Amino acid sequence: MVYEYADVSMLHLLATFLESAPQLVLQLCIIVQTHSLQALQGFTAAASLVSLAWALASYQKALRDSRDDKKPISYMAVVIQFCWHFFTIAARVITFALFASVFQLYFGIFIVLHWCIMTFWIVHCETEFCITKWEEIVFDMVVGIIYIFSWFNVKEGRTRCRLFIYYFVILLENTALSALWYLYKAPQIADAFAIPALCVVFSSFLTGVVFMLMYYAFFHPNGPRFGQSPSCACEDPSAAFALPPDVATSTLRSISNNRSVAGDRDQKFAERDGCVPVFQVRPTAPSTPSSRPPRIEESVIKIDLFRNRYPAWERHVLDRSLRKAILAFECSPSPPRLQYKDDALIQERLEYETTL
């Protein structure tokens, strides 16, 4: 249910930006050209703006709730994220409406160029949401539409540099589009309307940036993100090395002999680096003396490889399965037997056993 809710949040995010964002720009452009604002127009525009900001904030909440390797985000942090996206998107769509009210053709050209640049940037980031390369490119093209209006993180890792580049470009674009509208606005538009409109654009953008800094400084789930060194970023152990199948099998048989040594080493490294080990298992209960010899039972680990079902979450599902398998192996006096739901996935089985 958690995975499906995260998928639904992603679909809602895409649908909102593909539908509500263009409608919001069109509504605001009509309001600027007609110099009249009706109550229904204002209500629908505000509802569209709220839906855009809430789609981004709710997706981040659902994404972190669906991943065991991420700390959950608090509701206060969701509110701060909502305000961050609300004000930055508001400044963006108002700028688009002002510029499109005078330069309809050039506005279309600008949108296409910005979308192409953002899509190329996202493809260069090498996202991992889909299975095939072409599906990934199509997904990046859709996310490029979101980047027309707001920031959306599609790659794990440090986002400080990417955030700075994106919002610096957005600030330059908003300044250029607003200046061109002010210079070539219609004669009937007085400065009594133009000056407050420009003030709303830049004050809204500045307010959104302030909320963004507040989120990363005080409300980020991992703590303050400013001035933090990347030494505590734990990498994926499955990507660090790859063992052949025979070595992996011998490792499974000999790991029980090196259990205490590995535990002490992991604890020492964890204390030195200041981050928690990726595979942190519970210590086994001390054995109690008994007159009866212990009964040896064969442990069976049932594994269902979720291939092509939830590709975006497949890696995290396998990570959780690996943790369960290691815990079961720690509590087992004999090497466990791996039982797969689908015996046809030979390559996937070898990859899983090698990682384990």
29-66 tens-digit pLDDT: 998 888 888 888 889 999 999 999 999 998 888 888 87
Other beta carbons within 10 angstroms of residue 339's beta carbon come to 11
Provide the residue type at 289 as one letter: P
- Per the structure block, which two tokens stand in for 354? 């090698």
Residue 111 has pLDDT above 70, yes or no: yes
**Residue with the two structure tokens 């212990």:** 294
Q: What is the mean pLDDT of the chain?
A: 75
Q: Who contacts 84 (Cβ-Cβ below 8 Å, separation ≥6)?
A: 208, 211, 212, 215
pLDDT for position 179: 93
* pLDDT single digits (tens) 171-182: 999 999 999 999
Higher pLDDT, 65 or 80: 80
C-alpha–C-alpha distance, residues 311 and 353, integer Å: 19
Task: Find residue 301's DSSP bridge partners.
Answer: 338
Confidence grade of residue 287 (pLDDT, cut at 50, 70, 90)? very low
The reported pTM is 0.62
